[in-house]
Structure 1
Amino acid sequence: MTSTGPDGGRWTTSEVVRLSGVTSRTLRHYDAIGLVRPLGTAPSGQRVYGRAELLRLQQVLVLRELGVGLAGIARVLDARDDPAAQAARLREHHTWLLAERDRFDRLARTVASTVESLEGGTVMSVEHLYEGFDHRRYEPEARERWGDDAVDRSNRAWASMSAEERGAHRAEGLALSEALAAALRAGTPADDPAVCALVARHHAWVSLFWTPTAEAYRGLAATYTEDPRFAATYDAVAPGLAAYLRAAVDAHADAVAASGS
């Protein structure tokens, strides 16, 4: 803690990053859009946050987990509620989080059963393969980020696919992650032609649902490192894979732009 004030303390950006896990870039964005503004600036030049700002950031993160978009979060937090109304809202959030905990427990049991099935040579009932999954939870965030048209097209494309086609799409995603991880472990530069070929496959894999522009594709790759959920997914395959894929996408986009195609 940098210093003590009447409200219990002051924290710099670096301390808030350490405490919350939110990146400094995200904090700057939240400041720019008026979602979480700092109290002021420390002599070092870093932004300074008080306890009230840390509480507001906590509520932002909870609402993000609930799938609420940033504009919706601002409307919720800027409402002129009294402390009792704020507590009631947080109680609702708490109820949802408990439900999510139970869902993750079900998901963990599903994965454990799958492992036992594979190791024991038994066949797991298909009705039990997807217990605990909720593929709709990120849709509000996707609509905010990419727009309703893109999400609606994606939903229609997924709905039109057969079970075999969906399985093939998942398998291609896994194959791409493993191939990129192998290149990363081998020390292959992100702009190597072989890696660019993998990125072209990745672009085609994404384009099955949504064909991004060059800048949108860069933006998608940026989320692989900036969004902890994406980063954890890729880095579970190989440490550093999220950043490697982002660099490879950027290199691919640069090459395409240079070629004029």
Structure 2
Amino acid sequence: MSNQFGMYSEQYNNDFSKEQNQQFTAAFDAITQQFVTGMQEGQPASAESVQEAVRQHYKFCSQFWKPTREAYKNLALSYIMPSPYRDTYEGIAEGLGKYHYDAIVVWADNNL
């Protein structure tokens, strides 16, 4: 398996249908757009609507992997450290990786 999905890729087993994968992609894109909107509107990462986006992100991730507080925050590190995740987020909007990271840290510290 390629390392396309970062350091946790060896734990990712994709036994889903093409349709399921398309649904996952659409759901993930909708969550990501909430972060873009919050960032573009100048909302702090701790804003209620942004924290709701993190809750949805955590719930989405939990379909495949149940991260602990530290594991979830470590995943968020891949949004700011050199990785395909960071490259993807930065390709969507400059600063999105850091914004998403900051929001996850707040949410994880308060909810996990």
Q: TM-score, normalised by structure 1?
A: 0.40
Number of corresponding residues: 111
In the alignment, is residue 138 of structure 1 matched against residue 18 of structure 2? Answer: no
State the partner residue of 1:204. Answer: 59
1:178 and 1:237 in contact (8 A); partners too: no
User: C-alpha distance in 1, partners of 2:64/2:82?
Assistant: 21
- Residue 166 of structure 1 and its aligned partner are, at CA, apart by 0.8
Letter in 1 for 2:84: R
| Aligned-residue CA RMSD (Å) | 1.8
Give % identity: 28
Cα deviation, residue 191, structure 1: 0.6
Unaligned runs of 5+ in 2: none
Residue pairs, 1:12-161, within 5 angstroms: 136-138=1-3, 142=7, 146=8, 151=11, 154-155=12-13, 158-159=14-15, 161=16
Residue 184 (structure 1) aligned to one of 39, 43, 48: 39
Of 150, 164, 170, 2:25 maps to: 170
Q: Quick check: 1:196–1:248 contact (8 Å CA) kept in 2? A: yes
1:228 is displaced (CA, Å) by: 3.8
Partner of 1:213: 68
Match of 2:105 in 1: 250
Q: Show CA shifts across 1:64-102 (max 9, x none).
A: xxxxxxxxxxxxxxxxxxxxxxxxxxxxxxxxxxxxxxx
Relative to 1, partners in 2 of residues 1:235 and 1:147: Cα closer, same or farther, differing over 3 Å?
Answer: closer
Report whether the alignment pairs 1:231 with 2:86: yes
CA distance in structure 1 between the partners assigned to 2:92 and 2:32 by the alignment: 7
Counterpart AA for 1:137: S
What CA distance in whole angstroms lies between the structure 2 residues aligned with 1:137 and 1:228? Answer: 13
* TM-fit CA distance, 1:227: 2.2
Residue of structure 2 in register with 1:40 after alignment: none
What's the offset of the Cα at 1:147? 9.0
> Gaps (5+ residues) in structure 1?
1-135
**Cα distance per residue 1:169-226 (max 9 Å; x no partner):** 0111111111110110000110111111100111111111111101000000011100
3-state SS, counterpart of residue 224 of structure 1 = coil
| 2:59 aligned partner, one-letter code | A
The structure number with the bigger radius of gyration is 1
The 4+ residue runs of structure 1 with deviation greater than 6 A are none
Q: 1:119 maps to which residue?
A: none
Provide the secondary structure at the position in 2 that maps to 1:188. Answer: coil
| 2: CA distance, partners of 1:147 / 1:214 | 19
Higher relative CO (Cα under 8 Å, sequence separation at least 6) belongs to: 2
